[in-house]
Structure 1
Amino acid sequence: MGSKEEEPTPLYDAASPTEPLLFKSTASSASPPQEPAQLGPSDPDPDPTQFLRICFNYGPRHFKDLPFLILFLLFLICTFAFGIFSIFHRNHNYAAVSSFTYDSNSTSCTKPDSSSSNPNRVSESSLFSSSSSSLWTISIWTLVATLILSVPICFLLLLLLKHYTKQLVYALLPFFIIMPVFFDVYWFAACTLSSACTDAFPLVYRILVFVFVLLMVGIVVWIIVVNRHRIELTARIISVASDALSRNLGLFLVIPLLTLGLVVCYAPIVVFLVFARFNGRIVAKESDGEYTCVWKQDSWVPAYYALAILTMLWSLTTMVQAQVYVISGTIAQWYFSKDDEKPKGSIRSSLRNAFGPSSGTVCLSGLLICVVRMVRAAVDSARQEDVPGIVNLVLRCCVNALLSAIDFLNKFTINFAAITGEAYCTSARMTYELLKRNLLSAVFVETISTRLLAGVIFVVSAVYAIVVCAIVQGVSDLRVNTYIVAVLAWMLLIIVLGYFVHVLDNVIDTVYICYAIDRDRGEVYKQEVHEVYVHLPIDRNSSRGSSFP
């Protein structure tokens, strides 16, 4: 024991298998973390800032993971440069390919002088009837009204989750079952009474769909019953996260603006992709002894498509990770501030760090997420091909497990990087050391909270869709098309509320990381958070006698 005290393990030593960061002894949790300063003269002198770095870094941060930022900028610059080249290098004859004919004398395709009009033009006005125009108008106004009403709905939902989470969850739990069963029975009855639906869906298919939905509802009931003892704890966790989010309402303005910035970045790339198709020439193609004029793209166009699509995917995942970084940095500043002190400029500093010193870390995190998504899509595609063999099955399972582990670790890594400003690999190692004793508990509670919030927004959006359907039926004569308008309104509202849940989920993760840092330092910054998170279950296999107080 004495030798163990004389040679303390460094805080970030990933090779230390004995004492994890999160679970220290009761004596070290109760005393302030100044023991490294009391080491004897014979001990090696540790870094004095090593322990205190596990807190929010308010000071100036150094640039991390710069090669990945440079690589991302190189992708972006090449996409825009070749896109601009494609605009000025386009062939104006692309739209008139059908008017070219093969000239046997010159063995090339020529355009007759008499062809001055484009026969392929179709009047768009002929594609719309009066009924479809009315449906279009009502749908547009309904979606606009839904978009406007979604703002107060989100704030009202946040207020209810902050003050009445338990009551709201228990009040809506029955609707998690009632709503799907109601829509299932209603659809089955309406389809049976409708001759058109009956012709499209025979009785056997209707019964299969009806039974399938009931089976899904049964699975939901089973999940609720199995996790009933976790629901109250999860409701308290959601309440704490809602309180943290309500104190940083500026995130509801900044996060959509970041999404709008991504759309602005996407707009010229989409234009470039359109004009890239116009780069090529009209050539003669022989088929059964006859020559026809066809369009042949330049050889660099497919490569540019691949480059542009990869840039768009990487930009998407990078922007998502930047949003997580901003949310984590803002919430962490609130957490590590004094109770009576409101942090000033927290969102601004988080934005400055995300697109400044930590921009390379954000790009690397986005690149990993992009690669994981692409590999997972390739694995799913291979599974659909049904390639036989036990080796193929084992490889797919191993790849899916590895991708899930990378995806999960990456999520908490970017939270930790937003708090400390460390590089990606350092943050990943520090996060693993910090959470290795309660990693499974975090997964379990986070999954339940996400499912509860998903159920809440499903019920709210379904009730809204029913109200929209009733109103549209009362003010118009769309008849069956009324359901189309209601479904569109339901989809838009559930997208907005899903965005709200995405932000709240990231707040839950950030508060969990901040709580883990508190426990590691033996401090309590937010007593109300400790009173809730202290009841989290732990992984009995790795605790080995250590437990929460």
Structure 2
Amino acid sequence: MDDSSNKGNSSLQDSSPSSSLLSQPFLPKTPISTYPSLEDHDSQQESDSNQQYLHISYNHGPRSFKDLPFLILFLIFVLSTFAFGIFSIFNRNHYSTLSSYTYDSNTTSCSVINPSLSSTSSTGFLSPSSPFVKDLTWTLVITFVISLPMCWSLLLLLKHYTKHLVYASIPFFIVIPIFLNVYLFVACTIKTSCSDAFPLVYRILVMGFVFLVIGVIVWILVVNWHRVELTVSIIGVASDALSWNMGLFGVLPCLTIGLFVYYVPIVVFLVFAKYNGKVVPKKLRSEYDCVWKEDSWVPAYFALAILTMLWSAAAMLEAQVYVISGTIARWYFSKDFETPTKSIRTSLRNAFGPSSGTVCLSGLLIFVVRAVRSVVDNARQEGTPGLVNIVLRCCVNALLTAVDFLNKFTINFAAITGEAYCSSARMTYELLRRNLLSAVFVETISSRLLVGIVFVLSAIYTIVACVILKAATNLGSDAYFVAAAAWLLLIVVLGFLVHVLDIVIDTIYVCYAIDRDRGEVCKQDVHEVYVHLPISRSMRQSNITRTLGV
């Protein structure tokens, strides 16, 4: 650390009574031998653990390959999918429709009655010249073009005017539901068909219930107003970090496009796989007819290809998290007001190189958790009775929650240090526990505020777009559908910004924990904000008990 960093550290410690405690590591760097209640082997084990974790920092040097078995397994899935897909293309049966085949009772087989029928095709298509299609297309194109500078402007506003933007948006969280509630009540009252189907008493009950929900939202905002203040600062810090790494907005969409390009041949393989089989006779009711029978390996190939696509999608999402985390961490541990060179390129090389096995393992866990949770939710909707089923669902949900808890910061830590998945999970938990930081709390209200801001901006844009469409086109009631499509597209684009900011917040949280653990201050402005995060009371009690030897 240079002199400026040391001065920043001392100024941080003097800023508040509790800062000196919070900015120091909570485990000593040397073994504690003054507590008579601790046994010698426990002290030695604690010393070894401390020495292991005191070297946690961003790994600038070359990294070794981790979790190779899962990378090999993923490559086996991909290569098998492509190999059998290519085989399906060359092994396909050249036929068009079953109507060109007929059952021959003499040979007890199906034969082609007219080869020319097998080359027939349909040329029907939806004409794009209709006014609705034209207006929808132009509206979506204009919305996408406008959404790009909107993302840029929103990021700058969150960086420089976070408090103003958040406080200006919060009233709309209340005003918009009130407006929709009153508007729907009045519209249903005026419209005869709605008022007949929905009596006045029920309309009043629904309106009262919505106002009750709005009241609960207001109460939550008032009670947690101090958390809103802290969240504003956290969003500002994350926006500043992201503004120093704007290249991520070019790399991340390219990764998504690359995933879809990778999907194209697999989809082609699935189409041709359907043509692997033969036309066979089958007795339907009282007579034989010709039916298409797929080869026995085709269903298994469909399962393999779909699993490969889902695993690839989950791995790509984790790779994006890895790239964002690695880039932000490299910026965090660099000198102030200095943008590290080739940070995104380095993160990409690590994500698809030494840490590719870790990314594949994390994606596999995410995919399995989502699949099992989907099965559990479907079983719940079916309402299967029985105490055993209820207990089993509770156990499964507890297991899935534990996996989500384990995975929350693991990929962020792996991007920073280059450790394997299991080592990253264990070391992340130990890092946060030693520094009395909660592993499940990084101001989750920040995500809700960001989503609310995006909702407000997109709602305002949709209202303006709908007014313009009603005035400048002849769409009539279809203008509402076109405006809704524009709203959905804008939500997706701005939601991408929120997703990236959430990952940046988590990454800075882990970097801040590493700073605290080492007793250093790499980014003064980050420490001034994150030092106000609440301390985990359970971890605090555990550390005090263990230190006193009770």
Q: Same fold (TM over 0.5)?
A: yes
Question: 2-side partners of 1:198 and 1:122: how far apart?
Answer: 47
Partner residue, 1:346: 343
Distance 2:398 2:27 in 1: 40
Alignment match of 1:158 (pick from 155, 160, 173)? 155
1:440, distance to aligned residue in structure 2 (A): 7.6
Of the three residues 386, 395, 398, the one matched with 1:398 is: 395
Structure 1 position 88, deviation (Å)? 1.7
* Partner SS, residue 136 of structure 2: helix
Unaligned runs of 5+ in 1: 1-22
Match for residue 138 of structure 1?
A: 135
TM-aligned CA deviation for residue 259 of structure 1: 0.7
Change (3 A) 1:460 1:53: same
Query: Which range moves more in the overlay, 397-406 or 219-228?
Result: 219-228
- The change in CA–CA distance for 1:33 and 1:158 in structure 2 (over 3 A counts) is farther
8 Å Cα contact 2:29/2:54 also seen in 1? no
- Which TM-score applies when normalising by structure 2? 0.86
CA drift of 1:411 comes to 2.6
Q: Distance in 1 between matches of 2:176 and 2:269?
A: 45
State the partner residue of 2:117. 116
SS across alignment from 2:71 = helix
SS across alignment from 1:525: coil
Structure 1 pair 426/444, CA: closer, same or farther in 2 (3 Å)?
A: closer
Give the counterpart letter for 2:63 in structure 1.
Answer: R
The 3-state SS of whatever aligns with 1:282 is strand
Corresponding residue for 1:256?
Answer: 253
Q: CA deviation at 1:283?
A: 1.4
**Contact conserved, 2:22 with 2:516, CA < 8 A, in 1?**
no
Q: Is the 8 A contact 1:33 1:522 kept in 2?
A: no
Q: Is the CA contact (8 Å cut-off) linking 1:416 and 1:513 kept in structure 2?
A: yes
Q: Is the 8 A contact 1:234 1:445 kept in 2?
A: no
Residue 151 of structure 1 and its aligned partner are, at CA, apart by 0.9
Report the counterpart of residue 424 of structure 2 in structure 1: 427
Distance 2:399 2:459 in 1: 37
SS in structure 2 of the partner of residue 436 of structure 1:
helix
Structure 1 residue 217: Cα displacement: 3.9
- Judge conservation of contact 1:147–1:492 (CA < 8 Å) in 2: yes
Question: Does the Cα contact within 8 Å between 1:24 and 1:520 map onto a contact in 2?
Answer: no
Indicate if the aligned counterparts of 1:100 and 1:110 stay in contact, CA closer than 8 A. yes
Cα distance change, pair 437–174 in 1 and its aligned pair in 2 (3 A): farther
Question: What does residue 510 of structure 2 align with?
Answer: 513
Q: Per-residue CA shift, 1:297-344, capped at 9, x if unaligned?
A: 111111111111111110011000000001000100111111143211
CA gap of 1:43–1:396, structure 2 versus 1, over 3 A, is closer
Aligned to 2:308: 311
Q: 1:106 to 1:184 in 2, by over 3 A?
A: farther
Stretch deviating more after TM superposition (178-187 or 255-264): 178-187
2:444 aligned partner: 447
Counterpart AA for 1:543: R
Tell me the residue number matched to 2:101: 100
Contact 1:90-1:280 within 8 A present in 2 as well = yes
Determine the C-alpha separation between the residues in 2 that align with 1:328 and 1:102: 63
Deviation of the 1:249 alpha carbon: 0.5
- What does residue 56 of structure 2 align with? 54
Call closer, same or farther: CA 1:46–1:379 in 2, change over 3 Å: closer
2:367 to 367, 370, 390: 370
How far 1:239 sits from its partner (Å)? 0.5
Write out per-residue CA displacement over residues 361-408 of structure 1, whole angstroms, 9 at most, x where no aligned residue: 111101110111111111111111211122221221221122122123
SS at match of 1:116: helix
Residue pairs, 1:101-500, within 5 angstroms: 101-113=102-114, 116=117, 121=122, 123-125=124-126, 133-190=130-187, 193=190, 214=211, 217-436=214-433, 441=438, 443-500=440-497
Distance 2:223 2:283 in 1: 68
Change (3 A) 1:484 1:227: same
SS of the aligned residue for 2:409 comes to helix
1:29 is aligned to 2:30: no
Find the aligned partners of 2:363 and 2:539 in 1 and give their Cα distance: 31
Compared with structure 1, are the counterparts of its residues 158 and 27 closer, same or farther at alpha carbon in structure 2 (3 Å cutoff)?
closer
Taking structure 1 as the reference length, what is the TM-score of the superposition? 0.86
CA distance in 2, matches of 1:524, 1:457: 33
Question: What's the offset of the Cα at 1:443?
Answer: 3.2
Q: Deviations over 1:510-536 (max 9, x none)?
A: 000000001111111111111111111
8 Å Cα contact 1:441-1:536 kept in structure 2: no
Q: Tell me, in whole angstroms, the C-alpha distance in 2 between the residues paired with 1:354 and 1:242.
A: 23
Aligned residues: 517
Given the superposition, is the C-alpha separation of residues 31 and 510 from structure 1 closer, same or farther in structure 2, using an over 3 Å criterion? closer
C-alpha root-mean-square deviation of aligned residues, in Å? 3.2
Is the CA contact (8 Å cut-off) linking 1:262 and 1:319 kept in structure 2?
A: yes
Q: 1:30, 1:484 → 2: CA distance?
A: 56
CA distance in 2, matches of 1:135, 1:187: 27
Whole-Å separation in 2 of the counterparts to 1:34 and 1:459: 50
2:90 corresponds to 1:82 = no
**Does the 8 A contact of 1:76 with 1:311 survive in 2?**
yes
Sequence identity of aligned pairs in percent?
65
Q: Contact 1:32 / 1:521 at 8 angstroms: preserved in 2?
A: no
Cα deviations by residue, 1:417-463 (Å, 9 ceiling, x for unpaired): 00000011110100011123678855344321111111111111111
Cα contact 1:31–1:522 (8 A) shared by 2: no
Contact 1:53–1:420 (8 Å) recurs in 2: no
The 8 Å contact of residues 54 and 517 in structure 2, kept in 1 or not, is answered as no
Instruction: Report the alpha carbon displacement of residue 296 of structure 1 after superposing the two structures with TM.
Output: 1.2
CA distance, structure 1, for counterparts of residue 284 and residue 44 of structure 2: 85
Contact 1:284 1:291 in 2 (8 A): yes
Contact 2:23–2:519, Cα closer than 8 Å, also in 1? yes
> How many angstroms apart in 2 are the aligned matches of 1:239 and 1:342?
18
Is the contact made by 1:32 and 1:522 (CA closer than 8 Å) also made in structure 2?
no
